[in-house]
Structure 1
């Protein structure tokens, strides 16, 4: 069956003058790859002024849908109606020597300058620093046309999207609201599914117990009471058999009722990703990373000066700062043992930076990950599954994977390795939302030490125990800066405490607060 394209002129709802035009209508659409359905769409619609976020696991067809909407992929069945020209900004494009973030910004700026009626952005916030992410959010919030974003950036989706198209189990579903609204609804649906499953299981157990009880009672009736004489047993045999048969019929009726029940599918529960200290090489010494008065340059350009840094075992330290401020260069200086940097002798480093060319494309996923893993096969598979690489991926060649799936493989080879210090440079780029959650859970429970760069602010907030900012050629610890207390605070608090003690109405709650503050300052 050939794809059906409907011209806008035949549908009156597309006439000019309407304030709310239907610009995209996808109906009964199926995309097939290698004879297998990649995804199906019952119906998706989009209107002028809407901002749609497309979410789903890596490799499931989000970018393919973008190309179908843009008209560059016509190999599908079903109906596609698009009423205006589409501008598509792809996820990956030539960078011409510029960083990935700079290249994406240039392409987004050029696209916005064209004032397109329909704009599709594929991972527009990847590699952008905090300031440029905020710039992007502001620009997209004020975009007047129809906007479609393929993204795993939770902050972007929450701030910009007015609708979510979620791809799960090969099917697209449309949700109104932003990403937070989607998560709330999804979590409620999952809880409802769990409740329904648990209620059905309780009812089935009750029915099984009732069925068993009737069978046992039927057996007792047939046998008769031990106190019966042989004559009584013979005379009551017919009656006892009738009563036992009645019990058996009751048991069969209950069993039929149980079999007629619609059995809810058990909701999938992801196992906790938990390593213990004994899984990792032993750490000795007070600090794993020590940097003293380090000066960093890129070519003739000064990046950082007088860098001082010490990272204790068990810390999860994030490096934040604008693009080009020196985050990756600082990591490279640590790894190359540049003068002024020191790694503890017991440090065993697992280093992640996105370079899929390092992966052997002619080997399978399981060959690559199992060879790198220091864990047993079952735990390795458990962690792979949490990141979305389930059993169907084990025998797939690396070269057959999508870019996001290759990122997962490369990241997993580091996470499951025999390392006690993970250095991760932008591990969140191009990971889907389930994998992002899995990575958060893994790192929060990781018993080793982590130094990482991530522009995903939500990820940083959830994972980091300390965030260091690179700004104005300095490495700053905002927590330490913020905790410094002016010398005048202690006398002021003591004076306020004395005044409250002499007041006619005693404010005990405020007194307790001040006493705690005074005690903290005297430490």
Structure 2
């Protein structure tokens, strides 16, 4: 059953056409994820359908609709002023789900949410009986919830059946098909050029008399040869026309496949970049977090994960300010990316700003900018005209190309579109230095991190492995080594001795029990120190 049908979707700003589609529909049971680069008009399309733009849309609705508008963090409404971004998002989503609409239009509903709340939203969407159209950069959510992907590009929608992973596979098949068609084009062009060259040589040979032919014989043969020559030249011209009519197929250009000499100017030779012992932080008398020991291994890609408000950003700031219990190797040169971007020089170009303090040659800087989707003349844009996502990419490019060997990134994927997030993943994988980062993007963490710091229940624990490995470990029964078994056995024995000492039997030798108590206690303390 159709819930919404739109016709003649057109929207222009100045000389730029942002939306240009003949028609599309949404049906009952649809689970659609809409994706596209920043600035393509995804939010605009939702507003257009709902009649919230200057243009009057031609839209037929066959049911009720609920709309979640992308959250603006600059909230002036007193009703929401005391709440965090995550709390506001959850409250607004609660209101929408309670309305029991036939269709939900959700614009970036996971912004400001931590993993627990994103997973809660996934469950609610999967249990929702109506249709859903979600604009999102969260690839895991698009995989868990969606059965169709709409890609908005150049004002038009291309529909792909399946979830986001299916979409990626379909795009990959398109690239592979283009490679095959390019190879076919190159081979056919080469074959025709070779055939034309042979015909040209044949025609040239007809202009010269054979070696054993006399001049008088050549004069008699000349007219006959001229006719044959013209025929060969006509064939050659036909081949030339065929070459010109060949439909050119360009080879797919993949910046991510470009290899480069990506080395650190100042490598770190110590095993650990940073070590911290007995650290803790309290706010207003309440414990925020504590940890007996933290180690940031040289060359590792470590993700700090935890719920909103658990203290991830606070922990990073505490580690960077150092202190008596925190040791940072003197070889470390830290590049910091914060959620709130520092003021960037408005008048400089992207290339000028990124390259000015970089030890890398310009061609490597250009490659890294290209991999972040700053192509050709894009690098000469002034920073003052850049979008929020482009500013984030510029700041990240400066860090990735700078004279740093340790990068600390606090929510680097905020404001980035899916293409840019994927590009950043590959750059961090290739980065030869150490990276410590905070992110709520589950797939980004899984693709880049080889080590985790988990901030949970006011405690920080470490895990050597990626997100999938950690989640798998939580589902498996915990393995207990022999040392742990010994400790458990001694603790059980100690409890039994204390019980017997509290209410000794007539047969008990109290002095012997006290000696046994002390001996058991010493063993426990010795094991705990190991």
TM-score class, shorter-chain normalisation, is 0.7 to 0.9
The 1:100–1:145 alpha-carbon spacing in structure 2 relative to 1, beyond 3 Å, is: same
* C-alpha distance in structure 1 between counterparts of 2:264 and 2:291, whole Å: 36
**What is the alpha-carbon distance in structure 1 between the residues aligned to residue 354 and residue 153 of structure 2?**
25
Per-residue deviation, 1:117 = 3.3
CA deviation digits over 1:107-157, x for unaligned, max 9?
A: 222222233333222222234332222111101112223322111111100
CA pair 149-471 structure 1, distance change in 2 beyond 3 A:
same
Query: Which of 402, 407, 413 is the equivalent residue of 1:428?
Result: 413
Alignment of 1:309 with 2:309, yes or no, is no
SS in 1 for 2:255: coil
Determine helix, strand or coil for the equivalent of 1:303: strand
Q: Is residue 2:100 matched to residue 1:115?
A: yes
Match for 1:187 among 162, 165, 172?
172
1:65 corresponds, among 38, 45, 48, to 45
- Do the aligned partners of 2:272 and 2:296 also contact (CA within 8 Å) in 1? yes
Cα distance in structure 1, aligned partners of 2:154 and 2:363: 25
- After superposition, residues 190-229 of structure 1 pair within 5 angstroms as 190-229=175-214
Deviation at 1:374, TM superposition (A): 4.1
* Equivalence for 1:473: 458
- Equivalence for 1:42: 22
Deviates more, 1:448-457 or 1:120-129: 120-129
Looking at structure 1, the residues matched to 363 and 235 of structure 2 have their Cα atoms a distance apart, in angstroms, of 46
The answer to whether residue 396 in structure 2 is matched with residue 416 in structure 1 is: no
Contact 2:291 2:461 in 1 (8 A): no
1:349-368 aligned at under 5 Å gives the runs 349-356=334-341, 358-361=343-346, 364-368=349-353
Query: In the superposition, relative to structure 1, how do residues 81 and 415 fare at CA in structure 2: closer, same or farther (>3 Å)?
Result: farther
Residue 487, structure 1, aligned to residue 467, structure 2: no
**Could you report, residue by residue, the CA deviation over 1:30-51 in whole angstroms, capped at 9, with x for unpaired residues?**
2212321123223321123322
Q: Which residue of 1 aligns with 2:391?
A: 406
Report the equivalent of 1:130: 115
In structure 1, what is the equivalent of residue 33 of structure 2? 53
* 8 Å Cα contact 2:264/2:404 also seen in 1: no
RMSD value, Cα: 2.7
Residue 472 of structure 1 deviates from its aligned partner by: 2.1
Total equivalences in the alignment? 468
Would you say the 8 A contact 2:261–2:364 is kept in 1?
Answer: no
Q: 1:26 to 1:61 in 2, by over 3 A?
A: same
Residues in 2 aligned to 1:271 and 1:182: alpha-carbon distance in whole angstroms: 19
* 1:178-231 Cα shifts (integer Å, max 9, x gaps): 212222222212211221122112111111111111101111222243343333
In the alignment, structure 1 residue 234 sits paired with structure 2 residue 219: yes
Provide the residue aligned with 2:362 in structure 1.
377
User: Does 1:89 find its partner at 2:69?
Assistant: yes
**2:267 equivalent in structure 1:** 282
1:443 and 2:428 equivalent? Answer: yes
Equivalent position SS for 2:267: coil
Equivalent in 124, 142, 158 of residue 127 of structure 2: 142
Unpaired runs of 5+ residues, structure 1, are 1-19, 490-523
Distance 2:359 2:5 in 1: 50
- Residues 372 and 414, structure 1, Cα contact 8 Å, conserved in 2: no
The CA deviation at 1:452 is 1.0
Q: 1:105 to 1:317 in 2, by over 3 A?
A: same
Distance 2:157 2:326 in 1: 50
Q: TM-score, normalised by structure 2?
A: 0.81
For 1:411 and 1:353, the matched residues in 2 are separated by 10
Aligned in 2, Cα 1:372/1:119: closer, same or farther, shift over 3 Å? farther
Q: Distance in 2 between matches of 1:156 and 1:471?
A: 22
SS in 2 for 1:44: strand
Q: Which runs of 5+ in 2 are unaligned?
A: 485-530
Superposed counterparts of 1:268-347, under 5 Å: 268-272=253-257, 276=261, 278-347=263-332
Deviations 1:369-423 (A, max 9, x none): 3445443333333322322333454454545443333322332232222211011
- Give SS of 1:236's match: helix
Aligned to 2:502: none
Aligned ranges 1:249-260 → 2 under 5 Å: 249-260=234-245
In 2, the alpha carbon distance for the partners of 1:229 and 1:271 equals 66
1:349 Cα deviation after fit: 1.0
Q: Does 1:101 align with 2:96?
A: no
Contact 1:276 1:446 in 2 (8 A): no
SS in 2 for 1:288: strand
Summarize deviations over 1:44-98 as a string: whole Å, max 9, x none.
211233221110111221111121122211337x744444444233232427354
